[in-house]
A and B are shown apart, each in its own frame.
Chain A
């Protein structure tokens, strides 16, 4: 072997070894990804953040429009960032906005006056209603920000988010994908699909079915701890299925390794957790939270003051109340079913979708 061929083989071998390292060496000497991960400060639980970001965005862009576009007349054109917009200023109060231009549904729509939409529209960009908005049946919206009350008729669909400063009313068989919130209250019709809801009061149905909190009896027998129970800090831990009999008072937290049944009219002055399913019978009260790794079913006319967390199905029966106006809370389930007459003060999170019942 000549020296030349040896050097050639050596060079080829070195090249062969270094080849997989070239991207690494390039990233080392010419870094292209050295910023810290920009994830700190994210907040999934802030249900109205998209609407706030949109308000900031649209207000800033409207201010940057040329003076003739801000002269108090209707404007059809583009925002400074190139997004199409229809700015309806002059429509009469309560007048159906039937005269929207043909391509309005492809643009951001800003309504300065209260309006009723005829229905069946398919808005592909956001809609900003500065006053009351009443959507017609069967309409589809990308997102809505209403500065006063918003009412969507039967069969409406919202694809990303919906926020109303005033009361939000949703008709039957509507579907609310993404985030839906109100700073006043949300009223949901029958068979409404949803992902995330948030409001001081979320009411399913007309409200006539609401029964309020169960009364507190003057005296209740105390819960007798099961055989396989032990103290664990401020909780009682039960290593098997557990039944809290009807009308019994449990003081403190209860952790159950099996399933848990809470009897009619029982009262838990604390929180409960079960590794199995939890069934709360009608009229029961839980002053703390209800947590299960499986399904949770809350019976009729119950009251739960704290959060409800189910890693599977969560079902609230007719007349149940969750949280209070003064102390709102959150309920979370993989799927959530809300019966008519249910009231939730706070947030409802359905990871794989929720629905109101018929």
Chain B
């Protein structure tokens, strides 16, 4: 076997991986176009609602925490059945003062939890708060989110199903008029939630608990081993541990919540790299366990689970593929033209939620937003930036090793709302 043959085999392997992801995305998209929309819990409007603790992890969130608490206090959930736990983890700004002010004004309904010691980071903060709350259901929101009045009830409804361990709602950007990036992220979110997550829900695969607008059942969380405070992506981590224990994870497309998306590219790149490191950690931890094909899981679930874990690892694979194809060209190797065409098409339909243009276009149409779809060609730029950022994060050693004793730190996305703002 010549070096040229080795390179050619490498290219075939790359193309095979990309084609698998492309097929996955097309299955999801076609399911959303032609398949049955599965949302069994969305119509539950009345019931004996359980007690709920709503966690809002905070680290220097003075710009947004007031708006978040106002929105949660306005929820139409029975007031004696839910309380809000802002988890202040060593904020150095005015977050603690704002939270304490709300606690004084709404005694019993806002119950702050101030952390001054222990490992930093969202997962560690959630773990500490979990130990102090005995409500059977925990909802978790990021501090910059703006839930509607019905959202608490909508997110709790699936927990009437005793098999449901976690629920994820849909994230909708509300600052999309700020830059081209925010508009591209809006399209990307549509593709990721309206098509990707909902298709996984329809097909009974593995919808992902995303950690920013969702909830977990306390008994399921403890059964799966509690929040993993060493994880850089505690949401993906708990998703897989719940699934491996036999719990169901549910996505509710109609449970929408506004969020702030990054308004500049450096912030976006840091965000994507953080997700990459967390996701790759989970790939390393849970792919081997999935590939043992647990008896309670269907084969399709296992395959989807592994592919979902691998979405961030595909970026460097794609770059390697480009390198191999170029090398073969200069080596004078007669690469099959059909292989190259397949490679080119698959390249743009591969990267997780990022570059699946067919998914994004379908999502925009399902959302009824026909004009913003015109921006689709610009997703190519976002695709390239993501490709490089994700690849860089993937090949870094920190992407694959567990954090040290101190655990992860708070890695936050920049907030843009005016201080004390209450935008809705």
> Interface of A with B (CB < 8 Å)?
20-21, 23-24, 26-28, 31-37, 39-47, 196, 198, 232-235, 237, 239, 253-255, 257, 270-273, 288-289, 291, 293, 305-307, 309, 311, 327-330, 332, 346-347, 349, 351
Q: How far is the CB of B331 from chain A (nearest CB, A)?
A: 30
- A330 and B296 within 8 A (CB): no
Interface window among B101-109, B120-128, B157-165:
B157-165
Asked if A34 meets B374 with Cβ closer than 8 Å, knowing A44-B254, A233-B220, A311-B40, the reply is no
Q: Which 7 A-B pairs have the closest CB atoms?
A: A45-B45, A41-B148, A33-B371, A233-B219, A253-B162, A233-B223, A34-B177
Complex Cα distance, B367 from A42, in Å, reads 14
Asked if A39 and B172 make an inter-chain contact with CB atoms under 8 angstroms apart, the answer reads yes
Shortest A356–chain B CB gap in Å is 19
Whether B172 contacts A291 by the Cβ 8 Å rule is no
User: Which of B's residues lie within 8 Å of A, judged by CB?
Assistant: 38, 40-48, 146-151, 153-154, 157, 160-163, 165, 172-177, 180, 183, 186, 190, 204, 217, 219-220, 222-223, 245-247, 254, 256-258, 295-296, 367, 369-372, 374-378
Measured in the bound complex, the distance between the Cα atoms of B148 and A39 in whole Å is: 10
Residue among A44, A46, A233, A332 making CB contact with B222, cutoff 8 Å: A233
Docked Cα-Cα span, A305 to B48, in Å, equals 9
The distance in angstroms between the C-alpha atoms of A144 and B46, with both chains bound, is: 23
Contact status of A307 and B160, CB under 8 A, knowing A44-B43, A233-B219, A349-B43: yes
- Chain B residues with CB under 8 Å of A289's CB are 160-162
- A20-B46 Cα distance, complex, nearest whole Å: 50
Contact in complex: B162, A270 (CB < 8 Å): yes
The residues of B that contact A41 with a CB separation of less than 8 Å are 148-151, 256
When chains A and B are docked, how far (Å) is the Cα of A40 from the Cα of B372? 18
Chain A contacts for B295, CB-based, 8 A: 239
Shortest distance in angstroms between B247's beta carbon and chain A's nearest beta carbon?
Answer: 7
Pairwise interchain contact B371-A32, C-beta atoms closer than 8 A: yes
Contact B377 A33 (CB under 8 A): no
Contacts of B177 in A (CB 8 A): 31, 34-35
Query: A27-B375, A271-B160 known; A40 and B47 CB under 8 Å?
Result: no
Residues of B with C-beta under 8 A to A270 = 162
Residue of B nearest to A270 (CB): B162
Q: How far is the CA of A272 from the CA of B163 in the complex (A)?
A: 9
Q: How far, in Å, is A21 (CB) from chain B's closest CB?
A: 5
Given A23-B374, A235-B163, A306-B160, residue A36 in contact with residue B42 (CB < 8 A)? no
A255, B248: Cα distance in complex, Å: 11
Known: A32-B371, A34-B177, A233-B217. Contact between A346 and B161, CB under 8 A?
A: no
| Residue in A35, A45, A351 whose CB lies within 8 Å of B44 | A45
Contact between B46 and A40, CB atoms less than 8 A apart: no
Q: Are A40 and B40 in contact (CB-based, < 8 A)?
A: no
State A233–B219 Cα separation when bound (angstroms): 5
B377 touches which of A20, A47, A272, A346 (Cβ 8 Å): A20
Measured CA separation A303–B295 after assembly (Å): 34
Q: Give the chain B neighbours of A347 by CB distance below 8 A.
A: 43, 45-46
* Residues of chain B with a CB closer than 8 A to A327's CB: 48
Nearest CB on B from A253, distance (A): 4
Set A198, A232, A293, A305: member contacting B223, Cβ < 8 A: A232
A-B contacts besides A44-B254, A45-B46, 12 pairs, CB < 8 Å: A24-B374, A36-B176, A37-B369, A39-B367, A40-B172, A41-B149, A42-B148, A239-B296, A255-B246, A273-B163, A289-B160, A346-B47
- B163 proximity list for chain A (CB < 8 A): 235, 255, 273, 291
A-B contact pairs, 16 of them (CB 8 A): A36-B174, A37-B190, A37-B367, A43-B150, A45-B43, A45-B45, A47-B45, A196-B43, A235-B219, A239-B295, A255-B163, A257-B296, A293-B204, A305-B48, A328-B46, A332-B43
Residues of chain A contacted by B38 (CB below 8 angstroms): 311
Known: A43-B150, A45-B44. A271 touches B162 (CB 8 A): yes
Residues in B with CB closer than 8 Å to A232 are 220, 223, 245-247
| Pair B172/A37 contact, Cβ less than 8 Å | yes
Cβ 8 A contact of A309, one of B149, B160, B190, B256:
B160
Most chain A CB atoms below 10 A, which of B42, B46, B147: B46
Look across to chain B and name the residue whose beta carbon is closest to the beta carbon of A329.
Answer: B47
A27 touches B372 (CB 8 A): yes
User: Closest Cβ of chain A: how far from B200's Cβ, in Å?
Assistant: 15
On chain B, the residues within 8 Å of A346 by CB distance are 46-47
Complex contact B376–A307 (CB within 8 A) = no
Q: Which residues of B contact A237 (CB under 8 A)?
A: 246, 296
A330 to B45 Cα, complex, angstroms:
7
Cα distance, A42 to B172, chains bound together (Å): 13
Roughly how many angstroms separate A215 CA and B7 CA in the complex, as a whole number?
76
User: Which of chain A's residues has its CB closest to B194's CB?
Assistant: A37
Is there an interface contact between A27 and B254, defined as CB atoms closer than 8 Å? no
Flag if B374 contacts A40 (CB, 8 Å). Answer: no
Measured in the bound complex, the distance between the Cα atoms of B86 and A288 in whole Å is 31
The closest CB in chain A to the CB of B39 belongs to A44
Known contacts being A39-B256, A41-B148, is A273 close to B161, with CB within 8 Å?
A: yes
Chain A residues within 8 Å of B219, by CB? 233-235
Q: With a CB–CB cut-off of 8 A, which chain A residues contact B204? A: 293
Contact in complex: A272, B374 (CB < 8 Å): no
Question: Across the interface, do A24 and B296 meet the contact criterion of CB distance under 8 Å?
Answer: no
User: Chain A residues with Cβ under 8 A from B223's Cβ?
Assistant: 232-233
CB distance from B246 to the nearest CB of A (A): 5
Whether A329 touches B48, Cβ cut-off 8 Å, given contacts A36-B174, A40-B148, A257-B296, is yes
Contact A24 B375 (CB under 8 A): yes
B160 / chain A contacts, CB cutoff of 8 Å: 271, 288-289, 291, 306-307, 309
